[in-house]
Amino acid sequence: MRLYSLILLSVVLVLSACGATQPDVPIITLLPTSATTTQPTAVLTQPPLEMATSEPVAAMPDPTGTPAPAVTPSLVPAQKPISNTAALPAPVYYLGRLSGSDQIWRVEVDGQTAVQVTHELSPVTDFDVSPTDGKLAFVSNNNLILANPDGSRRTVMVDAHPMPTAEDYDVASLLMRQVHWSPDGKRIAYGLGGVNLIDAHDGRLTVLKRDDLKPKSPDFKSDGPVYSYWPLAWSPDGTRILSAVASYPEGGSLTVLDVSDMTTVDFVSNAGNGCCSPSWSVDGKSVYYASPWPWMDSSGLWHAEASTGKVTTLIEGFSKTEWREVGFVHAAKHGVLYYFYGTQSKEPGDLSPDSLPMALPITMYSAQADGVSERRRLRNDVHIVSEVAWAPNEQGALIVDVVDAVRAPSYQVSGTLTYLKTDSSPAIRLPADGRLPHWGVPSSTPVVNMQRHDTVWESHIDLVDGNASDCKY
């Protein structure tokens, strides 16, 4: 049930888009040289976690059609780098609101050059970056759009009709979301009335799993369960897609969806509803996932066998004396796990919702595949984290630090983008406030100015009762 609440919260957030001590490790702020670039706010750090500080810092293992909208771009020009040394392993893309609505921005590898990439009439609500050539796939006004890494050659792939409203009965089914490039950069998975695939080259569409919606009635209970599906992560070999299953009134779970025969393997667990931040193992045999928010869902770290759906709890979300926040797990080479972790003491037997922490200061850890063996704290600084994008080759992680948002009167989803290396070197604050961080391709050409947008062709998906029924090219 908590996962269903999380789904509703995420839908609302998408629709709404249309005196601390210093840590032992210093924070580097890369200040922009242009006054038009976002100026970062002061870093607000938390005291060190109440954990053993004697744990050693671990060394890393080897590791031509319809024109685009006529918009006058409010472009932030590229700036001179602070040095010839790259501060980041690859360019960074994120959603920022400096121009007035959520648009895709890019920070170059110098860590300070910020350029607005998209200039849509409507906010961008989701996006992903191709792992092969850096092309963008993003959602704006419920359309799936492709573009080059610099935003040029804008191509509308899927037009899913106007944005639904929060009052729509089947809003979760009508809303396009969760865009994911395949590992080979040839296909895109996205959620819209189920799990869909589209060929990035010719626009060929496949509906892998449809939502199972019951007829509208005043009482959900009389209709039976409602199931909604959307993609979360491709397997490393591109043959399967880990997908979320939201159901009412039961709650939700995860399922592995085979791309070729469309069969599914449901995760079976009484601990946790499959939220959040899943990560495939390198060999594609397992899935790890973790929930860092005990107030929203059961907190903890879990391992699931992709072939059987069997789930094993690796870290419990609480003990008799403490809350444990673990999240943003990443399964790396050599059977190593990386995740963020923090604890907070509690009274024995206290499970009152009022005592559940909204967010804990957490920091970076590594461990073996069981989640606890050879666990090492990799950094001394702590952060309130809402999102994490792990860097190529496990060099570090780009986080969204939302300590200011947590203390705000109303919940906010944006925060300060900060790059944390796994070697405990100083944290690097980017001159960017935003959300949904993604790594670009390291060899991508820097974006220096606005390019002409060309829409080549369009695909239209018509929905009948929440299901894709017709595809026109």
457 CB neighbour count, 10 Å cutoff:
13
CA 105, CA 82: separation in Å to the nearest integer?
19
Secondary structure class of 435 (helix, strand, coil): strand
H/E stretch holding 378: none
* Tokens (6 digits) for 340: 């963020």
Q: Are 332 and 338 in contact (CB under 8 A)?
A: yes
End-to-end alpha carbon distance in the chain = 40
CA 299, CA 130: separation in Å to the nearest integer?
31
SS (H, E, C) 160-211: CCCCCCCCCCCHHHHCCEEEEECCCCCEEEEECCEEEEEECCCCCEEEEEEC
Q: Are 183 and 234 in contact (CB under 8 A)?
A: yes
* Tokens (6 digits) for 412: 């906010």
CA 366, CA 173: separation in Å to the nearest integer?
37
φ and ψ at residue 405, rounded to 5 degrees: -65, -40
* Tokens (6 digits) for 321: 């004396």
Please tell me the predicted confidence (pLDDT) of residue 470: 34
Domains, in order of start, for the chain = 2-63+65-72+86-472 (2.120.10.30)
| Nearest one of 304, 303, 299 to 340, comparing CA atoms | 299
CA 279, CA 285: separation in Å to the nearest integer?
11
Please tell me the predicted confidence (pLDDT) of residue 291: 83
Strands (E), 306-384: 311-316, 322-331, 337-345, 363-367, 376-377
DSSP codes of every residue in 240-268: EEEEEEEEETTEEEEEEEETTT--EEE-B
Please tell me the predicted confidence (pLDDT) of residue 465: 35
CB burial string 393-410: b at 16+ within 10 A, e below: ebbbbbbbbbbbbeeeee
Low-confidence residues of the chain: pLDDT under 50? 1-9, 11-13, 19-83, 222, 449-473
φ and ψ at residue 392, rounded to 5 degrees: -55, 140
CA 128, CA 103: separation in Å to the nearest integer?
13
Please tell me the predicted confidence (pLDDT) of residue 63: 31
Q: List Cα–Cα distances, 111 to 99, 346, 439, 460, in angstroms.
A: 20, 40, 13, 39
CA 394, CA 412: separation in Å to the nearest integer?
28
